[in-house]
Amino acid sequence: MTGVDELVGLFPPGTRLADDGMLVVGGCRLDEIAGEFGTPVLVVAEQAIRQRAREYRAGLTARWPDSQVVFASKAFPCTAVQRAMVEEGLWIDVAGGGEIVTALAAGVDPATLVLHGNAKTTEEIQLAVEAGVGTVVVDNFDDIDRLETVVPSGLEQGCLVRVIPGVQASTHAAHATGHEGSKFGLTPLVAREAIARLQRSDRLRMDGLHTHVGSQIMVAEELAAAVEPLAALGRFPVYDLGGGLGARYTYADHPPSLDRYLDVLIDAARAHLPADARILIEPGRSMVASSAVTLYTVTTVKPGTTTFVAVDGGMADNLEVALVGQRFEATVVNRVGGGSQPVTVVGRHCESGDVLSENVPLRDAVVGDLLAVPATGAYCYTMSNNYNGARRIPVVFVADGQFRLVVRRDTWPDLLSRDVAP
């Protein structure tokens, strides 16, 4: 039987049990949130996000004063999250036109935006330049062609060249980006050509280099291994070392601590990079994963060789399981901890792969129970969809015993809003 403390430890920091056993996140009872907003609903502990941002910023600055934390907003591109990050002093990494739009709506200074993408369109580059995006990460020569066409004469667009460091990370293949053959970035040999071309341009400014090993990485040394290949390309004002630190989703996950990660990374920077350079890092998953929990209602319990507990959500609000096999835990919100018989929690969508958690011990789940799945702050909102006509779920911020809606649930008319045929 899973220990209550062990399970609660997967929820946002500060989560506790009320006297009647109900889970309380951000000072708010989860049953009251479900009663107010329905289910499924994504509950975000705002102070957990802000505290993590402060820890990242303080930790990096203490080790390398001329540095900047850039939130990889693709992990949670909600305007309320982007706004909180900026209020805590972070820059924002955007991976396309839509994330530029949400960041600007959140009040982000466009000069602090870093635009990524292996296949940026002319429209996106035009949007970025017109908005005043401070840094564009060049992923290919077509990026350079488009930028030189779009950037007006007399202006200068800051650029970084993305370099493939040749690091094979021990993560899911879909999360690995720094290995030879990656679709992202340029090999060091080809990167030299891109650097030279940017240095010759009268409209593009060669600020430095960018690299990224991947995501959900549990070995700090793999992340630090990308530093030396950058240094071999020369001295530049800026080195963006990417993100990738893993998050804790299950009892078995033990990612490096933030201090451990920063120690190893900055030790490598001190060994290989110019002391007067600016260092950027781009945390995403490790910034927000543990900040949120998704609430569901149990709709059916089907006993058999495998007992299936089905809920009113699934792969429309959490695609991580079907996409990369990510493991999540779960609990009934007022009977926290494991029961004697494991069950498989499944969603409502017409796919056998619509599984939220296999072989998870629940304490006597019945129809109508509220079920909580922790560590859903990264990529769940990002990849939410309308499969089977599902309405995308609301996002609720909780802090100091108060809750507020920051993203509403789709309405039925929303599902028809883009139709143009009679």
Specify whether the CB–CB gap between 318 and 335 falls below 8 A. Answer: no
- Alpha carbon 137 to its chain's center: 19
Of 380, 296, 388, 321, nearest to 349 by C-alpha is 388
- From the candidates 28, 159, 350, 380, which is the catalytic residue? 350
Q: Is the peptide bond before 13 cis (omega within 30 degrees of 0)?
A: no
Of 341, 329, 379, nearest to 23 by C-alpha is 329
In sequence order, the 6+-apart residues with CB closer than 8 A to the CB of 149 are 122
How many other CB atoms are there within 10 angstroms of residue 342's CB atom? 14
Specify whether the CB–CB gap between 313 and 39 falls below 8 A. Answer: yes
Question: Is 350 among the residues known to form the active site?
Answer: yes
Strand partners, 204: 157
* Angle 15-29-75 from CA coordinates, rounded to 5°: 55
Q: How far apart are CA 297 and CA 124, in angstroms?
A: 40
How many other CB atoms are there within 10 angstroms of residue 372's CB atom? 25
In sequence order, the 6+-apart residues with CB closer than 8 A to the CB of 263 are 63, 220
Q: How far apart are CA 69 and CA 58, in angstroms?
A: 10
Which residue has tokens 């495998």? 306
Burial class (CB in 10 A: 0-12, 13-18, 19+), 63: middle
Q: Which residues are designated catalytic?
A: 350
